[in-house]
Amino acid sequence: MTLEIIDDWYGERALDYEAAWELQRELHAQRVAGEIDDTALFLEHPPVYTAGKRTEPHERPFDGTPVVDVDRGGKITFHGPGQLVGYPITKLPSHVLVVDYVRRVEEALIRAVADLGVAAGRVQGRSGVWLAADARGAERKVAAIGIRVTRGVTMHGFSLNADVDLDWYDRFVPCGIADAGVTTLSKELGRDVTVPEAAAAVRPHLEDLLAWEPYTPSPDLQTAEHGHPPEVPVLGLPGLAG
């Protein structure tokens, strides 16, 4: 089965978060009913903070910026211009556990950023896609994941920082993680990486990984032990967005 990717919402066409959320709900209902095949939305949002069910009060923006409380697992994150946001609406096969779905999305992003020239991977106990600490900076996240699975069909998804303004991240505790940084593909590569360029890199890998064939995961980054328990960013199961 081929994953259909719809990507009409970049730049000036960036889609308001709550409008995208409503569209997700409509597609989710259609996928549950078998009226459509697996579908993913690729887009940009106007600036918005969204908080999952595990967000603590001290993790919210400290400047009074509004926050949308959402029905995904996890904590708070930012969406805005310069960030590729992906919402796969996919029916999980009976043999695919939720944690495997999350790892497949991570793998698609790891392979995509590698194609662009950025070496990244997983950090044990933390979801998302990370760069290891090096001479350029501390351990830092380039992509976040937070999902919901209802009636066997996924919602919400991932965000990949292409050239987003990192000043937005100074106003809150990203994904509830205070001891690591956030980065962008543009910052790491020293050139402008646009959202459409990032989307073009992610597309083939997401299509491949969500075809549910066996795959070999990338190795975890070799980083200091954080002492966090393994976490899966899912509503209804233990987890966080990150």
Give catalytic residues, as residue numbers: 175
Tokens of residue 166, six digits: 């990192």
Cα–Cα distances (Å) from 54 to 2, 77, 173, 225, in that order, read 34, 12, 13, 23
What is the Cα–Cα distance from 217 to 107, expressed in whole angstroms? 7
User: Cβ neighbours of residue 143 under 8 Å, at least 6 residues apart?
Assistant: 106, 109, 113, 120, 128, 129, 158, 159, 160, 161
Helix (H) / strand (E) containing 126: strand 126-131
**CA gyration radius for the chain?**
16
